[in-house]
Amino acid sequence: MTKSEHYDVMVVGAGMVGAAIACALGLKGIRVAVFDRALPSAFKPNQLPDLRVSALSYASGQILKNLGAWPYMETMRMCPYRRMAVWEKLYSPVGKELDKRPNQIIFNAADIRHEQLGFIVENRVTQLGLLKRLEDIESVSVFAPATIESMNLRGEKPEVTLQDGNVFTADLLIGADGAQSRVREQANIRLDTREYEQQCLVATVEIEGGLQDITWQAFTATGPEAFLPMADVDGKSYASIVWYNLPENVHKLMKLPDSEFLEELSTTFPKELPPLIKLHERGSFPLARRHAMNYFANGVVLAGDAAHTINPLAGQGVNLGFQDVAWLAEILTDAYHAGRSLGSKKVLSRYEKARRRDNQLMMSTMDAFYLAFSNSNVPLKVLRNLALGIAGKSRPAVKEVMKYAMGISGRQAELAKSS
C-alpha cells in the first residue's frame, strides 16, 4: 500500500551538502525527508583511498564538528595539511624547470596560530560521517536508494512521488542533487555556464617517504599541477595528484599504461613530487563554471553544486556548499521558530542575499587565476610572477589570503563558528 507523508522540508540529494543540511535542520527539530538514488558503500579501514577527495577548509571542519559528523569521520580517515605552496613554473632556456623560485608563496597555518590549514578527506568519508550522524537524529528520515518518479512544483506545496508510489509533500524542497540537478531543472531555474578549455586528471598514487603535511600547486600555461597528501593505509602512504591540461593531453594521459603514466608524471611534475610506487586509480573531469540565475523558485531552493560549480583549482567547491548549508540552516531555523513559511520569498531571498555574492566572488577569483595563468603572454607572465613574488613577501597579504581560503574571513554563520 502506498502512503502520503508531509514534512517541513524535503532534500533531494544526500551527498555531502544534502546530508549536511538535513543534519543542521534536523538538529533544530525540523522534520526532514531526504532522498538519494544511491548511498556510498560502507567504509573499510584497509580499503585503498578513493579517487574523489576534497580539501576541506578550516570553516568546513567547524561546520562538520558542530553538526557532530566529525568524530565519525575521524574514526575513518583524513589527512591534515599545515602548509600550502603555490608558484608558477619558470624554465631555463633549455626547458628545465628553475630550482630557484622567487615567485613562490608558502602559506603556513602556524603564521596565523592555527594547527592546520585544512584536511584532505575522501568525499565518501565526509558523506558517510554525515549519514551516520543522521541515524541519531529522529526528525530526519533518509529514503535511499529511492528513485524519484516525478516532482510537482505547481501546487501550493512541492510534491515528490517516488517510483514505489509513495508521495511526499513539504513546505520547502531543497535541491542538493549536484551539478546536473533535476530539481533545478524542474523548478525552471536557468544557469549561467562557462566551459573551461582545460580538463582535470585526478590520480591516486602510492608514494615513498611517509605522510606529508604540505599540499602544493605549480601553475603552467596548460594548467596547474597539484599534490594533495592523503592518510596512510596499512602503513603505506598515498597522495592525490591533480593534473590540469588540455582535453587532448588529458585524453592521451588517461590512455597510457600505468607504468608510462607514472613515468610521465615523474618527469613532468615539480621536483617536490615524492618517488612514486604504484598508480592506484585515475579519472578525468571536464570543468565548467555554473551559477544558478536564481537560488530559489516555485517552493524550491538550491544548495551546493546544484546552485554553483567552480573551477576546482583552489579546491573550494564543497567548501562553498558547506557555507550554503550554514546560512540556509540558520535562516530556515529562524523562520521556523518565528512561524514563517519556509518556502516564502522573504525567507529564501535572505539566503540568496547571504550566499550569491560570496559564491560569485570565489568563482570570479578562480576565473582570474585561470585566465592569468593559462596565458603565455610575456608581459603578463612577468607581471603575475612579480605579483606572486611581492605577495609572497608580504606577510599581512599572505595571512589575509590564508584566512579567505580557510573560510574564516568575513561574516560567519553560527554553524561555522568554533564552539
Ligand X SMILES: Cc1cc2nc3c(=O)[nH]c(=O)nc-3n(C[C@H](O)[C@H](O)[C@H](O)COP(=O)(O)OP(=O)(O)OC[C@H]3O[C@@H](n4cnc5c(N)ncnc54)[C@H](O)[C@@H]3O)c2cc1C
Binding mask 226-265 for ligand X (x = CB under 6 A): ----------------------------------------
Task: Choose one: 101-109, 204-212, 318-326, 393-401; the region binding ligand X (CB under 6 A).
Answer: 318-326
- Site residues for ligand X, 274-303, by CB under 6 A, read 285
Can you tell me which of 26, 223, 299, 304 binds ligand X, judged by CB under 6 A?
304
Backbone angles phi, psi at 43, to 5 degrees: -80, 135
- Residue 404 near ligand X by CB under 6 A: no
Buried (b) or exposed (e) across 220-239, using 16+ Cβ within 10 A?
Answer: bebbbbbbbbbbebeeebbb
* Nearest CB to ligand X, comparing residues 103 and 186: 186
* Strand partners of residue 81: 118
Among 11, 13, 157, 333, binds ligand X (CB under 6 A): 13
Q: Which of 37, 65, 82, 403 contacts ligand X by CB under 6 A?
A: 37
Question: Would you put residue 161 in left (φ > 0), alpha (ψ -120 to 50) or beta?
Answer: beta
Residue matched to cell numbers 542533487: 177
Q: Report the amino acid identity of residue 172.
A: L
Q: Among 24, 11, 7, which residue's Cα sits nearest to residue 332?
A: 24
Considering only 317, 343, 392, 407, the residue that binds ligand X (CB under 6 A) is 317
Contacts with ligand X by CB under 6 A: the residue count is: 31
Ramachandran category for residue 320: left, alpha or beta (phi over 0 → left; psi -120 to 50 → alpha): alpha
In the complex, minimum distance from the CB of residue 83 to ligand X, in angstroms, rounded to a whole number:
16
Query: Which of residues 8, 18, 107, 207 is near ligand X by CB under 6 A?
Result: 18
Burial class for 248, CB neighbours closer than 10 Å (0-12, 13-18, 19+):
exposed
Residue of the chain from 312, 343, 392, 407 that contacts ligand X (CB under 6 A)? 312
Residues 183-212 that bind ligand X (CB under 6 A): 200, 202
Q: How far is the CB of 118 from ligand X (least distance, A)?
A: 9
Are 23 and 133 in contact by the 8 Å Cβ rule? The answer is yes
Burial (Cβ within 10 Å: 0-12, 13-18, ≥19) of residue 47: middle
Cell match 554553483: residue?
A: 308
Task: State which of positions 95-134 bind ligand X (CB under 6 A).
Answer: 123
d(CA 216, CA 239): 12
Select from 42-50, 206-214, 304-312, 327-335 the region that touches ligand X (CB under 6 A): 304-312
Measured from the CB atom, the residue of 98 and 144 that comes closer to ligand X is 144
Residues 6+ apart with CB under 8 A from 235: none
| Among 25, 33, 55, 297, interactor with ligand X by CB under 6 A | 55
Closest distance to ligand X from the beta carbon of 92 (Å): 31
Select the span of 35-43, 88-96, 333-341, 400-408 touching ligand X (CB under 6 A): 35-43
Q: Classify residue 225 by its DSSP letter.
A: E
- What radius of gyration, in Å, describes the C-alpha atoms of the chain? 22
Q: Is residue 392 a contact point for ligand X (CB under 6 A)?
A: no
Q: Verify cis geometry, omega within 30 degrees of 0, for the bond prior to 145.
A: yes
Asked if 182 touches ligand X (CB under 6 A), the answer is yes
Answer yes or no whether residue 321 interacts with ligand X by CB under 6 A: yes
In angstroms, the CA 238 to CA 291 distance is 34
> What is the nearest approach in angstroms of ligand X to the Cβ of residue 318?
4
Q: Which range touches ligand X (CB under 6 A), out of 33-41, 69-77, 130-138, 373-381? A: 33-41
Q: Classify burial at 24, counting beta carbons within 10 Å of its beta carbon; exposed 0-12, middle 13-18, buried 19 or more.
A: buried
For residue 82, the minimal CB distance to ligand X (Å) is: 16
Considering only 15-23, 102-110, 253-261, 390-398, which stretch makes contact with ligand X by CB under 6 A? 15-23
> What is the closest distance, in whole angstroms, from the C-beta atom of residue 396 to ligand X in the complex?
26
Please give the Cα distance from 174 to 21 (Å, whole number).
9
Stretch that binds ligand X, among 98-106, 172-180, 261-269, 364-372 (CB under 6 A): 172-180
CB-wise, 285 or 340, nearer to ligand X? 285
Q: Is residue 24 part of the contact set for ligand X (CB under 6 A)?
A: no
413 binds ligand X (CB under 6 A): no
CB 238 within 8 A of CB 207: yes
Compute the distance between CA of residue 239 and CA of residue 380 in angstroms, rounded to an integer. 32
178 is an interface residue for ligand X by CB under 6 A: yes
State the residues that interact with ligand X by CB under 6 A: 12-18, 35-38, 54-55, 123, 148, 176-178, 182, 200, 202, 285, 304-305, 312, 315-319, 321
